Structure 1
Amino acid sequence: MARAVPAAELANHEGALARDGFAIIKNLLQDDEIGAVRTELDRLHAACGFGGNEFTGLRTKRVFNLFAKTRVLDPLLINPAVLRLVRSALGPEAQLSIASTMEIHGEETAQALHQDDAYHPSAPHPPLVINTIWALTDFTHQNGATRLVPRSHLRQDPVDLREPTIPAEMPRGSVLVWNGAVWHGGGANRTDAPRFGLSLNYCCGWIRQQENQYLSLDPTLVSSLPEDVQKLLGYDICQFVGWVDGRHPMRAILPEVRARIHAGQGR
């Protein structure tokens, strides 16, 4: 089981996330959990090539649509410590925006600094996106640890690519949680071993998800998942957003209900 994080530690992380724009929960996963996740993700990476441009990484492998491909990540998606930080910023109706891997190999160059909520027309603004990256290897300055500009989520000026950064160094099994408005980018890997991260990014419940979970996952699969996972994948309502013909989406996903909807029949 993942480490139970004490309330005082979580409170400190919440404060750091609001103040500095990021927090690191160290040693959240145990060795056997890390091994199980890596075995499954290594399988998915076996046929995966490198990226096609400098931003995605000419020496970086990425796999997307993870929740349609494996169930090993379900416990990480609903980890209580991570969800407390996410919901402290985004509210109780936060949902998964995108899930992907980032395996940075040797000789990869640093990714350009950017924001993951740059589509919002003004800054600073309330949190819209909270990113997480689970370290499945040690993250160091030398092997490409994520680079951050602390407190940049509070700034009004555009991203300055020359701004000094700090590396989010952490032992494997740890999780970096940061506000999507923070200026950040992947680091350069100057070692011979890959740096392997799992990115589970969340957004407010009323924002369109970066990865279209409704087309990515088969409805039959979704209906078999635990309720907490269903909701975080986006099969929930956020006040007046997300209804299907007046029904909760997890009610409307049932084949017989959808058939009645399409036939124009009553509830």
Structure 2
Amino acid sequence: MGLTTLEPTATVEDVVAVIDRDGGVIIRDFLDAETTAGLEADLRPVLDSGGFGEEDFMGKRTRRLGGLFKRTKHGAAIVRQPLFRGAAEHYLCRPVTGWTGEQRLEVVPRIQVGATQVIDICPGEGAQLLHRDDIVWLWRHPAGYQVPRVQVMFAATDFTAENGGTLVVPGSHKWSDERAPRLEEAVSTVMTAGSALIWIGSTYHGGGENRSDSSRTGITITLDLAYLRQEENAYLTYPPEIAATLDPDIRNLLGYQASEPFLGYIEVNGIMKDPSALFGDANAETMKFG
């Protein structure tokens, strides 16, 4: 039995219900055909000119690209897609309370892009080891109240069981860290180009074996808690002169925005300010606690 596929007319509540049950869900026609074609046109020449990985986990017959938002303007459509963004906000933007003196403080965490990768699995690639992506923070399971990551794998080409469609272990997001995943428990993500898989950081998954005669290209982006270190170093990938060319909402998602109450601030003339002040934002917040 494969993963559940929902139509693009589904609600965020529908998406969350399936993820709560299975750990992941497929959204048919996640992006329109024009945007999908634009992503393929922008990225294919770079992929075809690149090399393969040098070890088994990253894939010796797999090409990878990072820094998505400086390679194509169409990448923004993925993080703006309402079902992905809505699911991320549901899991990540959960209030946290504490005290400043006798004043009770409630903070809603912000979200950020933690990593972007274009993954082109070529013929002859074997199955990747099943893993949880929240292992980057050594997250423990069961995780309890807070989920650290919601992730998408956008299908730039068709995903099939034969060409390396992402393997997912349904229900594994509920497992303790004492249980190891087995390959026979995984199902292949089967979806047409323009569709997408959404899952959370505790779900075991991995790239599939490509037994076909063509490559399988996916674009993965993570939306993470903004108070955790980013997996892809955004400030070296998108230094201020590059970040200044991006739309403000994308720049903020890449970390040029503080996480409340004041994590990630910059100092401007002795005042703690939101990093958006770097880009002439007259509304840049003065950071304060309490």
Do they superpose with TM above 0.5? yes
Q: 1:104 to 1:121 in 2, by over 3 A?
A: closer
- Among candidates 139, 142, 156, match of residue 124 of structure 1: 142
Greater displacement, 117-126 / 44-53? 117-126
Any idea what SS the aligned residue of 1:111 has?
Answer: coil
Partner residue, 2:238: 217
Greater displacement, 22-31 / 208-217? 22-31
Distance 1:177 1:247 in 2: 34
Partner residue, 2:55: 53
- Among candidates 235, 250, 258, match of residue 237 of structure 1: 258
Per residue, is there more strand in 1 or in 2? 2
CA contact (8 A) 1:112 1:161 kept: no
Partner residue, 2:3: none
Alignment of 1:168-187 (within 5 A): 168-187=189-208
Partner residue, 1:198: 219
Deviation at residue 186 of structure 1 after TM alignment: 0.5
Q: Which runs of no fewer than 5 residues in structure 2 stay unpaired?
A: 1-6, 94-108, 281-290
- Among candidates 140, 160, 168, match of residue 140 of structure 1: 160
Partner residue, 1:264: none
Per-residue CA deviation, residues 92-121 of structure 1 (Å, 9 max, x unaligned), is 611101111111111110000111112335
CA contact (8 A) 2:43 2:71 kept: no
Aligned-residue RMSD, C-alpha: 1.9
Q: Which runs of no fewer than 5 residues in structure 1 stay unpaired?
A: 255-267
Distance 1:129 1:183 in 2: 13
How many pairs align? 251
Deviation at residue 231 of structure 1 after TM alignment: 1.5
CA contact (8 A) 1:113 1:159 kept: no
Distance 2:17 2:254 in 1: 27
CA contact (8 A) 2:167 2:206 kept: yes
Q: Which amino acid in the other structure matches residue 65 of structure 1?
A: G
Partner residue, 2:44: 42
Any idea what SS the aligned residue of 2:91 has?
Answer: helix
- Among candidates 109, 114, 127, match of residue 131 of structure 2: 114
Distance 1:220 1:58 in 2: 34
Any idea what SS the aligned residue of 1:73 has?
Answer: helix
Q: Which amino acid in the other structure matches residue 11 of structure 2?
A: E
Tell me the percent identity: 30
